[in-house]
Amino acid sequence: MGDITLTMNGAAISGREGMTILEVARENGIDIPTLCYLKELTPIGACRLCVVEVEGSRMLVGSCHTPIAPGMVIQTHSPKVLEVRRVLIELMMASHPDSCIVCEAANCCELRMRATDLEVGLPRFRTRLRYFPLEDENSNIIRDMSKCILCRRCVTACYNTEGKKMFSLAYRGFESKVIYDLDKPVGSDETCRDCDTCISLCPTGALRQPIKFGQRKKGPVLYVKG
């Protein structure tokens, strides 16, 4: 049984040492939204969507990488936290192209699902779009970096589960980009195999498989609230 007791949303719950706030919350049926988090892998901590309020902390803390401590008092869905999460989603959408209607990932797009869950309205923080040409020469993977929200799942997964380093990060600030090789498009004769790890993990339509003739769009139809 658990050996660390803490309070989450007013209820006393317990977890084992070494667990993160997110793991304890999920074990107890509290859903904290995440984007960059990958179960079992080293936390990334880049998207910040999983932030929660911890009593005594000036900032909100990322629940996917913060270990639990005895006596923690945590609010996972306070108005403050929800507002921050909404702004974060809006920021991710800020430079994301408005092409959901023709995007193949639209019905299984995690970014869109999180936005729907949080009832994000019209984006307030539009910025210039990040435009990159479509990389569709490879027979296993199509990359559209315009849609990338830099969650780094592909980078982490490729390294940790496949033991490869196909992707890495380059440039800084708003210009940051997940790059392939020394920032060249994924070509037709690359060593990248058809393991599909990164494609299945991409929360947006930035990475996808080349669509085959007669193949349908994936996922159930997504109804947008509001």
Partner 1 sequence: MPQAKIVLKNCGIIDPKDINTYRTKDGFKALDKARGMTAAGVINEIKTSGLRGRGGAGFPCGVKWEGARNSPGDEKYVICNADEGEVGTFKDRYIIQNDPFSLVEGLAIAGYTVGARQGYIYLRAEYSYLLGLLRGAIDQAQEAGYLDGFNIAIRLGAGAYICGEESALMESIEGKRGESRYRPPFPTVAGLWQKPTTINNVETLMNVAQIVLNGGGWYAQMGTERSKGTKVFSVSGDVARPGVYEMVLGSPLRELVEGLAGAKDIKMIQIGGATGRIIPYDMIDTPLAFESYLGAGAITVYNKSRDVLDIVGRTMEFLAEESCGKCTPCRQGMEWMVEVLGRFHRGEGLARDIGYMEVLADTMALSSLCGLGQAAPFAVVDTLKYFRSDYEKGISGK
| Binding interface with partner 1 (CB under 8 A) | 43, 45-49, 51, 59-60, 62, 65-67, 80, 83-84, 87-88, 91-92, 94-95, 124-128, 149-150, 168-169, 171-176
Residue among 9 and 176 whose Cβ is closer to partner 1: 176
Q: Take residue 16 and report the two structure tokens written for it.
A: 């084992």
Residue among 126 and 218 whose Cβ is closer to partner 1: 126
Residue linked to tokens 């996922």? 219
CB of 21 to partner 1, least distance (A): 12
Residue among 172 and 216 whose Cβ is closer to partner 1: 172
| Residues 129-159 as b or e (16 or more Cβ within 10 Å = b) | ebeeeebeebeebbbbbbbbbbbbbbbbbbb
CB of 146 to partner 1, least distance (A): 14
Residue among 88 and 118 whose Cβ is closer to partner 1: 88
Q: In whole angstroms, how far apart are CA 146 and each of 19, 139, 207, 226?
A: 35, 20, 10, 27
Q: Take residue 157 and report the two structure tokens written for it.
A: 């997964």
Residue among 45 and 209 whose Cβ is closer to partner 1: 45
CB of 67 to partner 1, least distance (A): 7
CB of 205 to partner 1, least distance (A): 18
Angle between helices 79-94 and 110-117 (to 10 degrees): 140
Q: What angle do CA 59, 36, 224 make, to 5 degrees?
A: 95
CB of 154 to partner 1, least distance (A): 15
Q: Rounded CA gap, 151 and 46, in Å?
A: 6
